[in-house]
Amino acid sequence: MGSIVSVLEKKDFVKWFLNHYQLKKRECVWLLNYLVSDDQLMERVHFVEKAEYCPKAIIMSTQCADGVPFRFYKQNVLTTDAEKSFHDIRLNQEEDIYLELNFNSSRLTPEYASVLEENPYLPENMTTDRKYGVWAEMVLDQSLSQFRKNSLMEKINKALDQKDEKSFQKWSFELRNL
């Protein structure tokens, strides 16, 4: 997650996102299009997770994801009316906007990862938990990779013992591509 994302990268991501996903509320589409149409506004947009902790935040969900269709937070006020958020953004263009998008496989999407920024408003204990979560994911990925490698090695050895060249070639190919 980077901390400085260019306006062009953000605009390209929003265009990509709108071409690949359908939001639960159609007003969200015009709100995103409004943001994309103004470079100065896009400079103030930050894609984050857990946006509800930010002073001014928008949370949008796609049809394919769980989550509320739309929420706008400003200080301690919450609304589900996209029109109110539009007016607030239009009238307060000097304020940063923290945007969270809920869609399937968002954590696995390189396009989203390229614009995702660290949320500066997360409570301290959440940032620590997040670090542990990232470390846990790394350990798990490494363990799964090692398990897969060991499993393939066993299959290769078995194929060699049985003089099964076809299986040997298959498992060796998979091991090389791991």
CATH of the domain at 76: 3.40.1530.30
- Give the pLDDT band of residue 174 (cuts 50, 70, 90): confident
Which tens digits make up the pLDDT trace of 111-149? Answer: 999 999 999 998 876 555 666 666 667 777 777 788 888
Residue 131's pLDDT is what?
62
Same domain, 14 and 86: yes
The count of domains in the chain is: 2
Please provide the average confidence, as pLDDT, over all residues in the chain.
89
Element (H, E) at 167: helix 165-176
Position 126 in a domain? no
The model carries a pTM of 0.69
What residues contact 72, with CB distance under 8 A and at least 6 apart? 57, 58, 59, 78, 79, 80, 81, 82, 84, 85, 88
Write out the residue range of the structural domain in which residue 54 sits: 7-118
Position 141 in a domain? yes
Percent of the chain beyond pLDDT 90? 69
Determine the Cα–Cα distance for residues 115 and 14; give it in Å rounded to an integer: 10
Same domain, 112 and 152: no
Same domain, 85 and 64: yes
Nearest 10 degrees: Cα torsion 108, 118, 8, 11: 60
Which tens digits make up the pLDDT trace of 46-65? Answer: 999 999 999 999 999 999 99
Helix, strand, coil percent content, the chain, rounded in steps of 5: 55, 15, 30
Position 2 in a domain? no
Three-state SS at 119: coil
Same domain, 17 and 100: yes
Q: How many CA atoms lie within 13 A of 79 on its CB side?
A: 12
